[in-house]
């Protein structure tokens, strides 16, 4: 793909006295910076998208931190279900491979969750005019949120990731985006899921660019929002989600990004205090070398590859 790009298949003094004060300030700043880096190393999440059309989600379990044995991947995202349109309303659609992944939860999902990795379902537009940004009423947004919540409950998932690509708003007579729609569907989903499940925003499309984020409680609704363009370091701006620990600035494609770039983005993530690092396209091949450059910076440990 061309670079950068969004995903296609489908987380920046009298002299002596003044000198003494300055040295003290520098020391305090350094200590503060070190503390921030320590926090980032402990708390920063690695979110990884898996194209289940061509790879097993279970491959995520093959990567562990070298010293602690903890999972290298904190958030594993099934890519992707779709928001489709039946001529009258939006509905949740699973293709054959997504269906197989969800129905094989004992092998594809539970092993990841048992080791501490959260599993989310990404939901993506499908060129049919239906999207998260063009629900004309709260009731219709809530009806779709009910389908999402049912999927989370039925398959024992840890949350939903919203990806507003390829919706093709206006197709099949569907309405154009409005400023309230995404807030409606995300808030309705939060109400149905409760506070313990995750809701994330892949910050692209009208759900990001056209939404009135002042119209709903963003902080209570969304857990994370992250950069969708690979490979770039560019934090999204989501009003109401101002805590950097809930933002991802770094985004890479594991199959099309150099180790040097991946590691540089990770170092910047830790230094800047962002809470998520996003990687796309984990495959069945050994990608531990690239992932190590990331986890060494954001978690303080290398990653080892140990096929299950």
| Digitized pLDDT (tens) for each residue of the chain, 308 residues in all | 333 445 543 332 332 333 333 333 333 333 334 434 444 445 899 999 999 999 999 999 999 999 999 999 999 999 999 999 999 999 999 999 999 999 999 999 999 999 999 999 999 999 999 999 999 999 999 999 999 999 999 999 999 999 999 999 999 999 999 999 999 999 999 999 999 999 999 999 999 999 999 999 999 999 999 999 999 999 999 999 999 999 999 999 999 999 999 999 999 999 999 999 999 999 999 999 999 999 999 999 999 999 97
Residue 28 lies in a domain: no
Q: What is the pTM (predicted TM-score) of this model?
A: 0.88
Residue 138 three-state SS: helix
Can you state the angle between helices 138-155 and 181-193, rounded to 10 degrees?
40
Q: How does DSSP classify residue 156?
A: T
Residue 109 lies in a domain: yes
Domains held by the chain: number: 1
Residue 124 lies in a domain: yes
CA angle 33, 35, 40 (to 5 degrees): 95
- Contact yes or no for 127/164 (Cβ under 8 A): no
Q: Is 42 a catalytic residue?
A: no
Residue 265 C-beta-side C-alpha neighbours within 13 Å: 32
Residue 140 lies in a domain: yes
How high is the pLDDT of residue 231?
Answer: 98
**What is the C-alpha to C-alpha distance for residues 104 and 113, in angstroms, rounded to an integer?**
14
Residue 160 lies in a domain: yes
Residue 31 lies in a domain: no
- Contact yes or no for 4/11 (Cβ under 8 A): no
User: From the candidates 51, 165, 296, 301, which is the catalytic residue?
Assistant: 165
Residue carrying the six token digits 């056209």: 210
Q: Which residues pair with 225 in a beta bridge?
A: 201, 247
Domain range enclosing 289:
5-12+45-305
Q: What is the DSSP string of 24-57?
A: HHHHHHHHHHHHHHHHHHHH-EEEEEEETTTS-G
Residue 213 lies in a domain: yes
Residue 67 three-state SS: coil
How high is the pLDDT of residue 285?
Answer: 96
Q: How does DSSP classify residue 71?
A: B
Residue 147 lies in a domain: yes
How high is the pLDDT of residue 244?
Answer: 97
Domain with 51 in it: what CATH number? 3.20.20.80
How high is the pLDDT of residue 7?
Answer: 54
Q: Which residues pair with 247 in a beta bridge?
A: 225
How high is the pLDDT of residue 308?
Answer: 78
């Amino acid at each position: 793909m061309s670079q950068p790009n969004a995903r296609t298949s489908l987380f920046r003094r009298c002299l002596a006295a003044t000198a003494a004060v300055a040295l003290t300030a520098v020391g305090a700043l350094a200590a503060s910076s070190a503390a921030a880096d320590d926090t980032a190393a402990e708390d920063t999440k690695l979110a990884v998208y898996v194209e289940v059309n061509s790879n097993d989600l279970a491959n995520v379990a093959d990567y562990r931190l070298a010293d602690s044995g903890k999972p290298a991947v904190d958030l594993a995202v099934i890519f992707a279900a779709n928001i489709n349109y039946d001529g009258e309303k939006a509905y949740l659609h699973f293709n054959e491979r997504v269906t197989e992944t969800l129905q094989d939860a004992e092998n594809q999902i539970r092993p990841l969750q048992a080791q501490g990795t959260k599993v989310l379902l990404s939901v993506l537009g499908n060129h049919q005019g239906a999207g998260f940004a063009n629900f004309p009423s709260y009731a219709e947004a809530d009806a779709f949120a009910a389908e999402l919540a049912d999927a989370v409950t039925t398959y024992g998932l840890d949350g939903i990731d919203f990806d507003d690509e390829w919706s093709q708003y206006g197709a099949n007579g569907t309405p154009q985006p409005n400023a309230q729609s995404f807030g409606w569907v995300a808030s309705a989903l939060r109400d149905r899921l409760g506070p313990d499940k995750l809701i994330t925003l892949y910050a692209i499309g009208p759900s990001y660019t056209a939404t009135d984020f002042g119209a709903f409680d963003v902080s209570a609704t969304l857990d994370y929002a992250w950069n969708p363009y690979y490979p770039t370091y560019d934090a999204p701006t989501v009003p109401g989600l101002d805590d950097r620990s809930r933002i991802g600035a770094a985004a890479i494609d594991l199959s099309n990004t150099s180790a040097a770039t991946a590691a540089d983005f990770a170092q910047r993530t830790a230094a800047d205090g962002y809470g998520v690092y996003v990687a796309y396209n984990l495959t069945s091949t050994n990608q531990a070398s690239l992932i190590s450059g990331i986890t060494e910076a954001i978690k303080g440990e290398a990653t080892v590859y140990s096929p299950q």
